[in-house]
Amino acid sequence: MKHGRYPFIIGFLIVPVAIYGTFVIAAYVQAFQLSFTNWRGFSPNVDYIGFDNFTKLFHDSTFWKAIQHHVLLLIFLPLLTIILALFFAFLLNVGGGSKGGRTQGVRGSKFYRVIFFFPQLLALALVAVIFSRVYSPDESGLINGLLQQFGAGPVLFLADSHLALWSILAVLVWQGVGFYVVLFSAGMGSIPTEIYEAAALDGATRSTLFFKITLPLLWSTLQVAWVYLGIAAFDAFALVNVMSVDRGGPDGATTVLGLEIYRNAFDYAQFGYASAMGVVLFFLTLTFAALTLRVTRRDTVEL
Amino acid sequence: MTNLRTDVSATPPGTVDYPGARKSAGTPAGKKEIKLFSGFAHIALAIWGLLVIAPLIWVILASFKSNTEIFTHAPFSLPSALSFESYKSAWTEAHVGRYFLNSIFVVALSTTGTMIFGSMAAYVLARYKFVGNRFIYYLFVSGLAFPVFLALVPLFLILQNLGLLNTYTGLILVYIAYSLPFTVFFMTAFFKTLPNHVAEAAIVDGASHTRLFFQVMLPMAKSGLVSITIFNIVGQWNQYLLPVAIMQGQGAENKWVLTQGIANISVSAGYQANWAALFAALTLSIVPMIIVYAFFQRQIQSGLTAGAAK
């Protein structure tokens, strides 16, 4: 059976490795290379300019605006999504009291879960289009249409530079919560009921149960959630590109790195500069993920 | 054991505990507390449920209204007459039908390709020892750490050099390439869990490596394959950045996928102020998702959370 082993291995690996090497590995390697050039896509020879792109980036006010927006998203997107999702997951799983000594979910918990999860299935670009209508500044918008019924003035969700980024953040939360409700529910479901019962015997209240049992036993799932949402906070391209006024506006109030990379690459043909931004984005994402895992490290409780 | 939790939660912490107190406290007060809590739970859950559904219902309602009605009537009012005018213009002028078919075509091929190549690579990496195995495995998995934005410019140039820019072939290959890291990562772990004795028995019976893979191992990996296929279908169907970067240039509008097409309708609807058609286009892309979800919600939920739940 030794015979034909290597031809088989090579035969199975060659196509996937070739596709992956061409479109992914080669692209990432070239991105680092390009970030040290001033290439604009036309000249045949490429000039290496050292760290000039990065120095320019450092003095680019739009870049710093984008960073600020990522910081805001990085704090509030995970925070809001996880708090809401934990809250709902807890209600779904132990909201119904107990029967026969077993904690129970509220009635219809499956139905709620199905509804909550649905937005996850929709493309962000689609969600962005829906919400650019929901937020419409005139009475054709869902929210302003309702407000008008009560005689309240229109709120300029996307045109007001103080509101625009928060409005976009709200859409991300709207879409994300259901996914994490399902994820946390699965985690909560795997916590043995005896632990709850034992704690309840000792007189633990519902909130004690939540903070002393559910939360610590769910820690590793929470970590994963935080990293996922953090990575999503470094993206937000689809929403900003579709929803925001003037793509990233008003006056740069919603711009994100992804959008700036896209713009520099395809609108201004600044290939080198766009790649430099990509490199920064890569290191930011990596630092964030490593930091999160390091800071939140705890001795996991093995059941 | 009956009503144990009910009893205790009704007893405030610190209350003097004596035999019998539990039992008497359990029935009326405890039940009441539970009812209150579960009532509160239902209200909170229903509010979020409403927040999730309301925009979707609103979109569907508005798709049957005329443009003026959208402006003058209350958001959740029923359309005065069931008008399919907007659907006609969404289908013929805004080309939603074409974008939809384009998406189906691209995703059908790219997901199939991803699953075939991904599971082939994962199988070999999981179950065969050879020089460079670990290296190739980590090469694939490292792809998970990079943001696609980093590759955007070079990817554009690579496709341009290969003459694949603005072609389905290019888009499909790129979808496959960028889906491989997670597919290989997940399927490698899955193939490792499969029992050895079946494979050994097949080899004793004289099955070739290729036959062993297709006729024995793949069927055994079915549950993993289903999860990850769903994950890839949804991910590729919803992809926006890659098609926007790749499908540009002359005649690209005809090849756009649904996400791109809808986003563009949204922009042009703004110029023509034809919102009804936009709502119809949105409805046409949401409703199929609702139908698919209604039938496969369990599989879809577990498929999409497969990565995070590990």
- The domains located in chain B, with CATH, are 4-60 (no CATH), 87-309 (1.10.3720.10)
Does residue A257 form part of some domain?
A: yes
| Residues 77-116, chain B, touching A (beta carbon < 8 A) | none
Digit-coded pLDDT (tens) for B63-97: 888 777 777 777 887 887 777 888 888 888 888 88
User: Does residue A77 surpass a pLDDT of 50?
Assistant: yes
Phi and psi based region of residue A102 (left: phi greater than 0; alpha: psi -120 to 50; beta: remaining):
beta
Does A191 score more than 50 pLDDT?
yes
- Asked if A122's CB is within 8 angstroms of B259's CB, the reply is no
Q: How far is A276 from chain B (nearest CA, A)?
A: 8
Instruction: Share the mean pLDDT of chain B.
Output: 82
Q: DSSP letters along chain B, please?
A: -TTHHHHHHHS-TT----TTHHHHHIIIIIHHHHHHHHHHHHHHHHHHHHHHHHHHHHHHHHHTS-HHHHHHS-TTPPPSS---HHHHHHHHTS-HHHHHHHHHHHHHHHHHHHHHHHHHHHHHHHH---TTHHHHHHHHHHGGGS-HHHHHHHHHHHHHHTT-TTSHHHHHHHHHHHHHHHHHHHHHHHHHHS-HHHHHHHHHTT--HHHIIIIIIHHHTHHHHHHHHHHHHHHHHT--HHHHHHS-STTGGGG--HHHHHHHHHHHHHHHT-HHHHHHHHHHHHHHHHHHHHHHHHHHHHHHHHHHH-
Looking up residue A263, the CATH number of its domain turns out to be: 1.10.3720.10
Mean pLDDT confidence for B161-181: 93
Q: Which chain B residues have a beta carbon less than 8 Å from that of A17?
A: 121, 136, 139
Residues 71-130 of A with CB under 8 A from B: 84, 87-88, 91-92, 95-98, 100-101, 103, 106-108, 112-126, 128-130
- In which domain, by residue range, is A167 found? 54-295
Q: Is residue A247 part of a domain?
A: yes
CB contact under 8 A, A266 and B245: yes
Q: Per-residue pLDDT averaged across A46-59, rounded?
A: 84
Specify the higher pLDDT residue, B175 or B66.
B175
pLDDT digits (tens, 9 = 90+) for B259-284: 998 888 887 776 677 788 888 889 98
- What chain A residue is nearest to B244 in terms of C-alpha separation? A262
C-alpha distance from B95 to closest chain A C-alpha (Å): 16
**The tokens 């509804």 sit on which residue?**
A115
Per-residue confidence (pLDDT) for residue A102, from 0 to 100:
55
What was the pLDDT predicted at A91? 85
* Domain annotation covers residue A45: no
Give A128's contacts in chain B (Cβ within 8 Å). 263
pLDDT of A18: 94
Query: Is B209 an 8 Å CB contact of chain A?
Result: yes
**Is B234 buried (19+), middle (13-18) or exposed (0-12) by CB count in 10 A?**
buried
What is the CA A174 to chain-centroid distance, rounded?
12
Alpha helices (runs of H) in chain A, residue ranges in sequence order = 5-20, 26-34, 52-58, 61-94, 109-117, 124-134, 142-149, 164-189, 193-201, 206-208, 215-217, 219-233, 237-243, 257-262, 271-295
Task: Please report whether residue A152 resides in a domain.
Answer: yes
| CB contacts, 8 Å: A87 with chain B | 44
**For position A106, what pLDDT does the model report?**
74
What pLDDT, on the 0 to 100 scale, is given for residue A127? 94
**A142 vs B49, B75, B155: nearest CB:** B75
Considering its fold, how many domains does chain A have in total? 1
B127 has pLDDT over 80: yes
In the predicted model, is pLDDT for residue B4 greater than 50? no
Confidence label for B12 from pLDDT (cuts 50, 70 and 90): very low
Q: Do A123 and B54 touch (CB under 8 A)?
A: no
Distance from CA of B85 to the nearest CA of A (A): 18
> What average pLDDT does this structure show over B172-183?
94
The structure's pTM equals 0.85
pLDDT digits (tens, 9 = 90+) for A145-178: 888 888 877 888 888 888 899 999 999 999 999 9
Residue with tokens 């209204």: B65
**A216 occurs within a structural domain:** yes
A185 located within any domain: yes
- Which pLDDT band holds residue A303 (cuts at 50, 70, 90)? low
